[in-house]
Amino acid sequence: MAAQAPATDVSTVSLGEDLPPMTIDDLIGDTDSLALSKMGFAHLVQHIDYIGLTVLATMAVMSVLTWFYIFHNAFRIWSVKRRANALLNDFWDSPTPASAVERLESEPEYEPLSKIALEAAHAAAHHSDSQGGRMAEALSRHEFIDRSLRQAVMRESGRFETGLTLLATVGSTAPFVGLFGTVWGIYHALIGISKSGKATLDVVAGPVGEALIMTCIGLGVAIPAVLAYNMFVRSNRDVNASLNRFAHDLLDYFATGERVKPQRYGSRKTA
């Protein structure tokens, strides 16, 4: 009877006398490393086409503009609130309207309360200079100052809304831009798979996973824009209420000459 050949251990594979044997786990690990090397953002950028690159650049521009307006508006609101209470105290503590106006003229351009008060002071002075004229006959002092204050409040309130339209647009469109990039990436991935003739998991997972990165980027751009939009809308509502309260106090002051009790900026009356 012929001697049987010794059984070979299939769990190891010898590649030569000078090389150590490799296990099946080693071979699987090398395959996984190769698959992972073909996935990720870096690999996506290296193999992206012009349409995908346009989508990626669009979302990058959206993100840059979003964060610019977030920091710009946040700094503006913080600066205004920081200076407002001191400005109101100085204004109402001034002995005469002329001294109060002189104090306001030194305020920076972004400060809205000083611009509204200066508008009221100029309107009152202009109406006084026009006594006996057609304008004074058509509008009373109270009506003329009220119109000027309304325009000033609308103008200053509009400045606080800078960038809100962009934040709303980015928040509503960025996810769909990212989704378009994902659909386009999957479309090209399926074309590549059909050309290769292979539909195994390692072949499909890489391109599809890279395509899904576009959706993640779109969500990452949209979420800060939506949160910032809601925060600034609420903050602007409080600012507008404070500007209107100050405008009513100015109307009483310049129309009647009577001072009102100063109110802290941004405070609310409670029932």
> Per-residue pLDDT tens for 17-32?
454 554 544 444 444 4
Mean pLDDT of 206-228: 87
Each residue's pLDDT tens digit, 180-192: 988 888 887 777 7
Most confident residue range from 44-48, 100-104, 246-250: 246-250
Mean pLDDT of 98-123: 81
- The string of DSSP letters for the chain reads -PPPPPPP-TTEE---SSS--EEHHHHHHHHHHHHHHT-SHHHHHHT--HHHHHHHHHHHHHHHHHHHHHHHHHHHHHHHHHHHHHHHHHHHH-SSHHHHHHHHTTS-TT-HHHHHHHHHHHHHHHHHHTTTSHHHHHS-HHHHHHHHHHHHHHHHHHHHTTTHHHHHHHHHHHHHHHHHHHHHHHHHHHHHHHHHT---HHHHHHHHHHHHHHHHHHHHHHHHHHHHHHHHHHHHHHHHHHHHHHHHHHHHHHHH--------TT-----
Give me the pLDDT at residue 177, please. Answer: 94
- 50 has pLDDT over 50: yes
How much is the mean pLDDT over the chain? Answer: 76
